[in-house]
Structure 1
Amino acid sequence: MSMMDYFVPPKELVDLTPEEVKERIKGDSYMLVDVRTDWEYRNGHIKGAVLYPHGSEKRFVEKFGVPDNVILVCKTGHRSRASANELVRLGVKKIYHLEGGMDNWRKNGFEEESGD
């Protein structure tokens, strides 16, 4: 993984606002994946998000295959960008992320939960 992965998004990555994420996760058609650390996740995450910390993309693909309905979340958007780059290298054709990460989610006052 290159340091540029944190700053240069792949062309397959679509930015979503907190409002767009909230709307898309209402149904079952999108999988919300939190790529932060376990500690960060336990201290507040979007309800329904599954934890696959940045660096575990290969394990994620081994478990779920190559999805096209994943929304990535991190703290500010850098780790989710880097994870998106890795997932694209693993075959993902289209991927989404929460622009500005959990900081943006919280700034907009959206609900989150703590714990596992």
Structure 2
Amino acid sequence: MERRHFLVLAGIGGVALIAGGGYFASMEPAGAGYEHRPLTAADLTEGDALVVDIRRPEEWAETGVVEGSMLFTFTTADRFLAQVSGELSDGRDLVLICRTGNRTQAAADALAGQIPNRIVSVEGGITRIISDGYQTVKPR
């Protein structure tokens, strides 16, 4: 079995991981870009993050929504930020949820770098949250 050596370099520009054999991967510095990861219903409802369901109203009615989430269909980054910027002024995280996670990735990509807040796109979306047993509420 081949042995690999790893060297982690840290600096102002971020973190780089260099592995023997010519492999190279870099990570964005904290605060840049966004995260796309599975969150539990508890992650969505128990923290102080701003959770925004970016689906369309007919989708909210069809499946229900995560209790306490803001409902705002994402069309453009500028329109979205005009709607939610007041809720984010305290620096809290922005968590985006849609049906499967595809739209939230696109929205997070459009928002990345425009706000200082951490942005999280919920992998698997409301479909996964419901399949994990979460009981949604009716949209208001």
TM-score range, shorter chain: 0.7 to 0.9
Unaligned runs of 5+ in 2: 1-27
More helix as a share of residues: 1
Larger radius of gyration between Structure 1 and Structure 2: 2
What is the count of residue pairs matched by the alignment? 105
Partner AA of 2:53 in structure 1? D
Task: Report the TM-score, using the length of structure 1 for normalisation.
Answer: 0.75
Query: Which of the pair has the greater relative contact order for Cα pairs under 8 Å at 6+ separation?
Result: 1
State how far apart, in whole Å, the 1-side matches of 2:119 and 2:137 are.
Answer: 24
Partner of 1:83: 107
Q: 1:74 aligns with which of 85, 98, 118?
A: 98
| Superposition pairs of residues 1-116 of structure 1, within 5 angstroms | 12-19=33-40, 22-27=42-47, 29-43=48-62, 44-65=64-85, 67=88, 69-88=93-112, 90-92=114-116, 94-116=118-140
Q: Aligned residues: percent identity?
A: 22
Show CA shifts across 1:31-74 (max 9, x none). Answer: 00001101111231101111121214322312333845110000
More strand as a share of residues: 2
State how far apart, in whole Å, the 2-side matches of 1:57 and 1:49 are.
Answer: 18
Moved segments of 4+, more than 6 Å: none
Task: Report the TM-score, using the length of structure 2 for normalisation.
Answer: 0.63
Partner AA of 1:18 in structure 2? L
